[in-house]
Structures are given as structure tokens and as C-alpha cells.
Structure 1
């Protein structure tokens, strides 16, 4: 593939990932709540890897051609984000520590199940219609029909660039949130409320956007 095309794609993908969305809200909550952001981050990346695979084998084109599928994904994502956001609002997470149980470690942190965080992260990214739109709509624009590589392979490489951008940005976001909160413990409750509220607002925005498209159509 053309190097300039890859660089252009990498720049565009990085800009898309830097725009706050459901993934940001979830990884911020993980940074505040868990001893490690790895399970949550891995879940997000697994969800996007599954989406990249689907796009590469042609499922993405089928989804784009069936608007009702995207609508269904949108409402599923909105419901899931609402559930996660309301949980954070009702039960703000305590900052996890590396202390052994009984020596400062929070009960919520000690009860954290990595497989659950991984599954939740995969659900957040896998049901994120905006992420799917990036993979379905934007990636094909960077393919070269005259290139030596077949289109599915090009889409796979471009999709992996997107996943790599997610890994870089969300690692920084999650670890930065944790570092800031360690120096400012009093901000924990405020940021957790904002994070939970952001998930709920994003869910509402997803529904409103889809309804507005439906009405205008």
C-alpha cells in the first residue's frame, strides 16, 4: 500500500479516536475504578478487532446497505451505555489501590472481575455505531482498487491502524485519569459523576441522532 495513504489514514483515525465518546467514558471509569485498565482496554480493542474483521469480510457493506441494522445497533448501544452510566451514578467507584485487602484496598476494587471488565469493554466498542461508521464509511476511502493488495487485506491493515490508535489514546487517557486522581483524591466523586453522566448523555444523543435521521427521511 502507498505510504502516503497509510499516513493519511493514520492521521484521520487518530483524530477520530481523540474525539470523546463512549469509549472515553468507559476507559475513564475503568481508570478510576480498577487497579489496572488492561481488562477494560483489552475489551474495547477486542470489540473493534471484531468490527474490523466484519468489515474486511464484507459484513460492513451489508450493514451499510441495511439501515435498520445500524438503527438496532444504535439503540442497543444506547441502552448499554445508559446501564453503565446509571451504575456509575448510583455507585461511584472508589479509587483502587495496590494495597492488600484490609490495608486500604476498596471493597469494590477487590471484587472487580477482569473478565467482566473485558466483556463490558467489548460491548461498549462492539455496539458503538459511531465506531462502526468509521470502519464502514471512512476506511474504504483510503483503499486503492489499483493496488497490489486485495481490498479485504487493505481494509484489515487500515482497521488495525484504527485499533492501534485506540490502544495508544485510551492507554494514555486511562492512566492519566488514574494518576490525576491519585494526586487529587477529592476530585474522585466529581469525575465519576461526570463520567457516568457522560455515558447517559451519549446514549441520549445516539437515540436523538437516529430519530432525527428517521424523521428527516
Structure 2
């Protein structure tokens, strides 16, 4: 693939990933609630790995045929998850939080959030195809896989920085950490509710 094309995609992708949203909220929440940021971010990246595999297989076209149903499912999950965070914000690293959620569950939640994230769907269905060249030196599936891997790398770098940064800055400030956790929960709930109302209104 053309180097300039890859750099253009990387710049746009970083811009999109750096816009706070549900993924950011989950990474911050994981960092502040005493959970493994690595497992949380790994889950988020795994969700985008599924998107990449579907796009490479050409199934993204089929998914695009039912975007409302997928968005409603993702929005409903964000509402449920955000409400759970608001109900029990906890303090960073408390024993009840550590016992409450296994690493596997943290990973699966992250994968579900990114797998159903409307921003991720927008990237794979609308943005990524614009950087594919039909007559390039690589076949379309290989180009799609390359761009998908770049996106996953960007997500890993940004979300690890966000989660670890939140933990480092707020670990010794329990009241501030609770406030940020509540804000993260409210963000997930608000984003989910907005998308849910928006989609249901168009059904």
C-alpha cells in the first residue's frame, strides 16, 4: 500500500480514537475501579479485531444492511453498563471491586463495548473503504486487514495511556476518582440513551 495513504489513514484514525466516547469511559472506569487496564484494553481491541475479520471476509456489507438493530443492541448495553457504574462507583482498588469482576469478564465487557460501538461501525463501514485502492499492489482483503490492524494499534496505545493515566493521577484521590468514575458511567449511559432514542425514533 502507498505510504502516504497509510499515513493519511493513521492521522485520521488517531483523531477519531482520541475523541472521548464509550471506549474512553470504559478504559477510565477500569483504571479507577482497581481492575486490570491491560485486560480492559485488550477486550476493546478484541472487539475491533472482530470488526476487522468481518470486514476482510466481506461480511461488513451484510452488517451494513441492518445497522439499526446493531446500534440498538450496542446502545442498550451501554445504558445497562453505565447504570451499573453509577450505582456502584466504588473507590480505586477496593477489595469488593477486585473480587467483583474477573479478568475474563473485564475483557469480555471491553470486547462487547467496542464490538457494538457505533463509532467503530462508522469507521469500518464508511471511513476505511475510502482508503482502499482496487488496483493497488495488495488485494482488497489484505489492505482491509492492514488498516484494521493499524486501527487496533492506535486503540491499544491511546486507551492504555488513558486508563493508566487515570489510575496514576487519581489513585491517591478517592473522592476525585469516584467523581471521574461517575462521570464515565454517566457518559456511557448518556451515549447509550441518546443512540437508543435516536434509533427507536426512526424505526
- Both structures adopt the same fold (TM-score exceeding 0.5): yes
Q: Retained in 2: the 8 A contact 1:44–1:121?
A: yes
Distance 2:44 2:113 in 1: 7
Structure 1 range deviating more: 162-171 or 108-117: 108-117
Residue of structure 2 in register with 1:157 after alignment: 146
Q: Does 2:133 correspond to 1:136?
A: no
Runs of 4+ in 1 over 3 A off after TM superposition: none
Q: Retained in 2: the 8 A contact 1:94–1:188?
A: yes
Aligned-residue CA RMSD in angstroms?
A: 1.4
CA drift at 1:35? 4.0
Structure 1 range deviating more: 186-195 or 150-159: 186-195
Distance 1:152 1:63 in 2: 17
CA drift at 1:182? 1.8
Residue of structure 2 in register with 1:28 after alignment: 28
Q: SS of the counterpart of 2:136?
A: coil
Q: Retained in 2: the 8 A contact 1:60–1:136?
A: yes
Q: Does 2:84 correspond to 1:95?
A: no
Q: Does 2:56 correspond to 1:82?
A: no
Residue of structure 1 in register with 2:198 after alignment: 209
Select the residue among 88, 96, 115 that pairs with 1:107.
96
Q: Any gaps of 5 or more consecutive residues in structure 1?
A: 97-104
Q: Any gaps of 5 or more consecutive residues in structure 2?
A: none
Q: Retained in 2: the 8 A contact 1:34–1:112?
A: no
Residue of structure 2 in register with 1:39 after alignment: 39
Q: SS of the counterpart of 1:95?
A: coil
Q: Scaled by the length of structure 1, what TM-score is found?
A: 0.89
Higher gyration radius (CA): 1
Residue of structure 1 in register with 2:166 after alignment: 177
* Cα deviation 1:87-141 (Å, max 9, x = unaligned): 1111113211xxxxxxxx5222234300000111110011112201101111110
Distance 1:209 1:163 in 2: 28
In the alignment of these two chains, the number of paired residues is: 203
Residue of structure 2 in register with 1:17 after alignment: 17
Q: SS of the counterpart of 1:25?
A: helix
